[in-house]
Structure 1
Amino acid sequence: MARAFDIEPLDATFGAVVTGVKLAALDDTTWRDLHDAWLEYALLIFPGQHLSRIEQIAFARRFGPLEFDMAALSNVKADGTLIAEADNSDIIKVLKGNMGWHCDSTYMPVQAKGAVFSAEVVANSGGQTGWADMRAAYDALDDDLRARVESLAAHHSLRYSQGKLGHQPKQGSDYSGYGFHDGPVPLRRLVKVHAETGRKSLLIGRHAHNIPSMSAAESERFLQELMDFACRPPRIYYHDWTPGDAVVWDNRCLLHRATPWDLTEPRVMWHSRIAGDPVSESGLT
């Protein structure tokens, strides 16, 4: 049976633009077809959706329980004024940190499954979101390197990745708790097997560090070389946002990042994070 929507693959190893569907009014058959496409392409882009917050949360919940319903990734205060870069704000420091390649919540006990992201206000230039296909990156490794990474694991920490930028969150700020916890630092294998598709991918990114069998310097160098190899064409895609766009991506096999923009311009994005399954998304014990 033909799909109820049109799908156009991106010029990359992953991703597709989906049109002819209204995410706020999905029937069950269309939802199942969208979910199948999501598992195949890992990133689905839906132009012109203009989802309300309630509609975005409802769409995200179709993929499973949420780690959190909705959070603004924005340099705009509640009163509409901009957060000044010179204010030494934790919010700006986290926005800057998100400009490095990463997977969401690998620093938490359970890694996120995916995310729904939408654009409300976009910058005049910059402020794209990029994704990188870690399935294709794994497939592209030579045999010796593939065998090596299969045997390795790395710790993941938001304190580590933000600390490299000189960021230690202020006590009591919005970012002083979540992710900056004092609990165990998860250890995760560098090769991840997708719970639903069975495909292997690299699990790396800016939160990864301290491979147990290496010195800190050797580990950092090795992980950076892997990232430099993985995050290059045809395994990357950068999206130029238009207000109303919505996307959903599979956090189990893609890295993502924001690109810089002029922080004197507003940018307001909405993020709903899909919780991972503790059976498949927990770290090593």
Structure 2
Amino acid sequence: MAPHFRIEPLDAKFGTTFGAVVSDIELSALDEATWRDLYAAWLKYALLIFPGQFLKRDQQIAFAKRFGPLEFEMAAISNVKADGTLRIEKDNDDVMKILKGNMGWHADSTYMPVQAKGAVFSAEEVPTIGGQTGFADMRAAYDALDDGLKAKVESLQAYHSLHYSQSLLGHETAKSDGEYSGYGLHDGPVPLRPLVKTHPETGRKSLLIGRHAHNIPGMAPEESRHLLQGLIDFACRKPRIYHHDWAPGDAVVWDNRCLLHQATPWDMTQRRIMWHSRIAGAPQSEAALAA
């Protein structure tokens, strides 16, 4: 039976290993048959892009909940304060530091006890230049490793910490200005995760790396940093990357279990308001290892 929507793989236009644009669909009014086809497409392509949806808050949350329980319902990713004024980039407050940190390749909530399953992300206001979101296919990256490196990384783990990744930007979380809610900047155990992850639904292997990963047990710190950065540099390049140019009303959903993503710079004298709904991971498959 043909799907109830139109799907155009990004491969046709951009030569990528993943991702698709979905049209002729209304995310706020999905019947069960359409939803099943859509979920199957999501597992296949890992990133689905829905132009012109203009989801209201309750509609985005309801759509995200189709994928499972939420880690949190909705958060603004924005340089606009709650009172409508712009953050000043040179002030470099805690929220600005997080916005800058997000420009490094990462997967969501690897620094939490349970890694996120995915996320729904939508655009309300976008700048005229910059502000794309990049995505990178860690399934294809793992597949492209030579046999020797595959064998090496299969046996390795790394710790994941938002304190660690933000500290590289000079973000001293102990001296927080209190404006950032502190999500992820917890004082609990630092999660330990394998460098190679098996997807719980597709069975495909992928690299689990990114800016939060550090301190591979059994390696000297410099050797660990060199290997992890080398993996990012190898993984996050064509044809395994796609950067989305946002238009107001766009929505995307990505599979956080096999993709990395990154924000990109923009002119921060221009407003950018994005909305993020994070889908919780299943503890059976997304929990950290016992350190």
Q: TM-score range by the shorter chain?
A: over 0.9
TM-score, length-scaled by structure 1: 0.98
* Partner in structure 2 of residue 35 of structure 1: 39
Of 189, 210, 213, the match for 2:215: 210
Q: Tell me the equivalent position of 1:75.
A: 79
Task: Report deviation, 1:85.
Answer: 1.2
Q: Residue 207 of structure 1 aligns to which amino acid in structure 2? A: H
SS of the residue corresponding to residue 279 of structure 1 reads helix
Deviation string 1:198-251 (CA, Å, 9 cap, x unpaired) is: 000000000000001111111001000000000010000000000000000000
Partner Cα separation in structure 1 for residue 181 and residue 121 of structure 2: 23
Q: In structure 1, the residue corresponding to 2:166 is in which secondary structure?
A: helix
Alignment check: 8 A CA contact 2:94 2:176 kept: no
Q: Secondary structure at the match of 1:238?
A: strand
> Deviating runs (4+, > 6 A) in structure 1?
none
1:272 pairs with 2:272: no
Mapping of 1:1-285 within 5 angstroms?
1-11=1-11, 12-169=16-173, 170-171=175-176, 173-175=178-180, 177-285=182-290
Shift of 1:173: 1.8
**Number of aligned residues:** 285
1:86 Cα shift? 2.1
Paired with 2:179 and 2:81, the residues of 1 have a C-alpha distance of 13
Q: Is the 8 A contact 2:159 2:215 kept in 1?
A: yes
- The alpha carbon displacement at 1:80 in A equals 1.3
CA distance in 1, matches of 2:28, 2:101: 32
CA distance in 2, matches of 1:75, 1:175: 12
What is the distance in 2 between the residues matched to 1:88 and 1:203? 30
CA contact (8 A) 2:134 2:261 kept: yes
- AA at the equivalent of 1:137: A
TM-score normalised to structure 2 length: 0.96
Q: Which moved more, 1:30-39 or 1:79-88?
A: 79-88
Percentage of pairs with the same residue = 74
Contact 2:162–2:185 under 8 Å retained in 1: yes
Gaps in structure 1 of 5+ consecutive residues: none
CA contact 2:93–2:177 (8 Å) conserved in 1: no
Query: RMSD of the TM alignment (CA)?
Result: 0.9
